[in-house]
Amino acid sequence: MAAPSPSAAGPLAGVRVIELGQLIAGPFCGKTLADFGAEVIKIEPPGKGDPLRKWRLLKNGNSVWWEVQSRNKQSVTLDLTQPEGQDVLRALVKDADVLIENFRPGKMEEWGLGYEDLKKINPKLVMARISGYGQDGPYRDRPGFGIIAESMGGLRYLTAEPGRVPVRVGVSIGDTLAALHGVIGILMALYHRDARGGVGQVIDIALYESVFNCMESLLPEYSAFGVVREAAGSALPGIVPSNAYPCRDGWILIGGNGDGIFKRLMTAIGREDYAASPDMAGNDGRVKRVADIDGAITAWTQTQDKATALKILADHDVPSGAIYSVADIVNDAQYRARDMILNIETRDGYKVDVPGIVPKLSVTPGAIRSTAPRLGEDTAAVLERAGLKPETIADLRARGVI
Helices and strands (H and E) in the chain: how many: 18, 13
pLDDT of residue 8: 61
- pLDDT digit string (tens) for 339-353? 999 999 999 999 999
* pLDDT-based confidence at residue 2 (cuts at 50, 70, 90): very low
3-state DSSP assignment of residue 15: coil
Q: Residue 14 CB: number of other CB atoms within 10 A?
A: 11
In DSSP notation, 275-287 reads HH-GGGSSHHHHH
pLDDT of residue 348: 93
- Answer for the pair 52, 24: CB distance below 8 angstroms, yes or no: yes
d(CA 396, CA 79): 10
**Which strand (E) or helix (H) includes residue 333?**
helix 333-337
Catalytic residue ranges: 175
- Average the pLDDT over 201-225 and give the result: 98
* Close Cβ partners of 330 (under 8 Å, ≥ 6 residues apart): 341, 353
- Answer for the pair 120, 130: CB distance below 8 angstroms, yes or no: no
Q: How far is CA 87 from CA 20, 80, 111, 332, 392, in A?
A: 15, 9, 10, 50, 12
- pLDDT digit string (tens) for 237-288? 999 999 999 999 999 999 999 999 999 999 999 999 999 999 999 999 999 9
d(CA 9, CA 142): 40
pLDDT of residue 225: 98
**Which strand (E) or helix (H) includes residue 265?**
helix 259-268
- Average the pLDDT over 195-217 and give the result: 97
pLDDT of residue 177: 98
pLDDT of residue 21: 86
d(CA 315, CA 264): 10
Are β-strands 62-63 and 98-101 bridged in parallel, bridged antiparallel, or unpaired? unpaired
* pLDDT-based confidence at residue 9 (cuts at 50, 70, 90): confident
3-state DSSP assignment of residue 30: helix
Reference 316, options 264, 271, 270; nearest CA is 264
- Answer for the pair 333, 339: CB distance below 8 angstroms, yes or no: no
pLDDT exceeds 60 at position 59: yes
Read off the DSSP letter of residue 18.
E
- pLDDT digit string (tens) for 114-168? 999 999 999 999 999 999 999 999 999 999 999 999 999 999 999 999 999 999 9
- Answer for the pair 17, 100: CB distance below 8 angstroms, yes or no: yes
Residue 138's Cα: distance from chain center in Å? Answer: 27
* pLDDT-based confidence at residue 108 (cuts at 50, 70, 90): very high
Distance from the first to the final alpha carbon of the chain: 31
* Close Cβ partners of 310 (under 8 Å, ≥ 6 residues apart): 252, 320, 321, 322
- Answer for the pair 362, 56: CB distance below 8 angstroms, yes or no: no
In the chain the domains, ranked by start, together with CATH numbers, are: 6-214+335-398 (3.40.50.10540), 242-325 (3.30.1540.10)
- The pTM (predicted TM-score) of the whole model is 0.94
- pLDDT digit string (tens) for 68-98? 999 999 999 999 999 999 999 999 999 999 9
* pLDDT-based confidence at residue 385 (cuts at 50, 70, 90): very high
Which ranges of 74-143 would DSSP assign to H, the alpha helix? 83-93, 107-110, 115-121
Q: Give percent of the chain above pLDDT 70.
A: 98
pLDDT exceeds 90 at position 322: yes
- Answer for the pair 159, 229: CB distance below 8 angstroms, yes or no: no
pLDDT of residue 267: 98
- Which string of b and e fits 199-233 if b means at least 16 CB within 10 Å? ebbbbbbbbbbbbbeeeeebeeeeeeeeeebebee
Using alpha carbons only, what angle is made at residue 299 by residues 294 and 300, rounded to the nearest 5 degrees?
Answer: 100
